[in-house]
Homo-oligomer: A and B are copies of this chain.
Amino acid sequence: MKKVVTFGELMLRLAPNGYLRFVQADSFEATYGGGEANVAVSLSNFGVDVKFITKLPAHEIGQAAVNSLRKYGVDTSGIARGGARVGIYYLEKGASQRPSKVIYDRAFSAISLAEPKDFNWDEIFEDVEWFHFTGITPALSSGVADICLEACKKAKEKGIRVSLDLNYRKNLWSPEKAQEVITKLTPYIDVCIANEEDAEKVFGIKADNTDITGGKINYEGYKQVAEKLVQKYGFKMVATTLRESISASDNNWSAMLYDGKEFYFSKKYSVHIVDRVGGGDSFGAGLIYSQLNNFTPQESIEFAVAASCLKHTIEGDFNLMSVAEVKALASGDASGRVQR
């Protein structure tokens, strides 16, 4: 099988132990994560040959970030080394009615200051069949947005499929800026993942009557949005995760896939959450895996949702599940009985 490439930022994640608040923390669990890196690790755990592209400082904290990917078999040989900062995000885990809280400290990171010459996309895309990134990456800086555009064009030239997880982040840019940048990229995108708020913020396309805080799902609205996205931007596939937030401890989780013809809805899982960060990324990885392996649309959405359901039970950003484990859940065993 050919390779997958993902491109984005890998941050140091600093989280107090358990459910401690930031002001109680005397230590931070130190792991690494970021949308596209999370996808890369999940794919590697699925047995896919995957390369992650970013820029990281040459110092030991940068090296520790690199090592966090090597450990799980991700090819890190294409990572540019240089710059001064590893981006950071602080994560305080919520519980019950108390929401999780993220404080970003990612400005001026090595990747956000990267230049086109840091990456040789011809080399990077050798033997590659899929390229994935999220809307966070072009939001890092206009320089990185340009690099994304260059990479998309090069991918298209080489017949590489491209997926984009919109992932709108209000701390990084305004809806206006997002729309301006992303619409330059849409011509190159085959598969678009758009969760609840993304379509509205980035494309001004809105699901009617959806109240995010209320936690109810407006299925008809999601269908409309997907149809509009395909019509307007020509995506071959639109996928949407459907999260119902009952509390910070319990969520319902399912998803919808639209292939331009039919709508496919997955089973819905009631998840008792261990760590929900990276849930969307694990869905993306599941979807890419299922497409690489020619799953039917229904199989695809079931695999992607089962994978991301399981991510919610794993500490850290990375989804550390095997294909066999995901398939066991997708095919119906959600009893959680001990495996001996």
Find chain B residues with CB under 8 A from A219 CB: none
Q: B339 touching A101 by the CB < 8 A rule?
A: yes
| Cα separation A19 to B314 with both chains bound (whole Å) | 7
A interface, size bucket:
35 or more
The answer, yes or no, to whether A295 is at the interface (CB within 8 Å) is: no
Of A23-31, A120-128, A156-164, A283-291, the one contacting chain B is A23-31
Query: What separation, in Å, do the CA atoms of A311 and B240 have in the docked complex?
Result: 34
A23 pairs with B320, CB closer than 8 A = yes
Docked CA distance A215–B161 (Å): 42
**A334 closest partner in B (C-beta):** B97
Most buried by B among A28, A214, A337, A339: A337
Interface string of A1-20 (1 = CB under 8 A from B): 00000000000001001111
Of A62-70, A137-145, A181-189, A258-266, the one contacting chain B is: A62-70
* A22 at the binding interface (Cβ < 8 Å): yes
- A244 to chain B: closest residue by CB: B335
- Closest approach, in angstroms, between the C-beta of A183 and any C-beta of chain B? 24
* Complex interface: chain B residues within 8 A of A103 (CB): 59-61
